[in-house]
Amino acid sequence: GAVVSQHPSWVICKSGTSVKIECRSLDFQATTMFWYRQFPKQSLMLMATSNEGSKATYEQGVEKDKFLINHASLTLSTLTVTSAHPEDSSFYICSARDPYRGDTQYFGPGTRLTVL
Amino acid sequence: EDQVTQSPEALRLQEGESSSLNCSYTVSGLRGLFWYRQDPGKGPEFLFTLYSAGEEKEKERLKATLTKKESFLHITAPKPEDSATYLCAVQAMDSNYQLIWGAGTKLIIKP
Chain A hits for B4, CB-CB cut-off 8 Å, are none
Residue A91 Cα, gap to closest chain B Cα (Å)? 8
Give per-residue pLDDT as tens, B46-67: 999 999 999 999 999 999 999 9
* pLDDT above 90 (res A72): no
Q: How far is B50 from chain A (nearest CA, A)?
A: 10
pLDDT digits (tens, 9 = 90+) for B7-34: 999 999 999 999 999 999 999 899 999 9
Residues 6+ apart with CB under 8 A from A65: A82
Which residues of chain A lie closer than 8 angstroms to B45, CB-CB? 107
What is the model's pLDDT at position A90?
A: 96
- Position A1 pLDDT exceeds 80: no
Is A43's CB within 8 Å of B104's CB? yes
- Chain A contact present for B40, CB below 8 A: no
Q: Which residue of A has its CA nearest to B86?
A: A43
Are B69 and B82 within 8 A, CB to CB? Answer: no
CB atoms inside a 10 Å sphere around CB A38: 17
pLDDT band at residue A95 using 50, 70 and 90 as cut-offs: very high
Q: What is the Cα–Cα distance from B111 to B108, expressed in whole angstroms?
A: 10
Q: Is B74 on the interface with A (CB under 8 A)?
A: no
Q: What is the pLDDT of residues B72-91, one digit of tens each?
A: 999 999 999 999 999 999 99
A7-65 pLDDT, tens digit per residue, is 999 999 999 999 999 999 999 999 899 999 999 888 899 999 998 888 899 999 999 99
**What's the pLDDT at B11?**
98
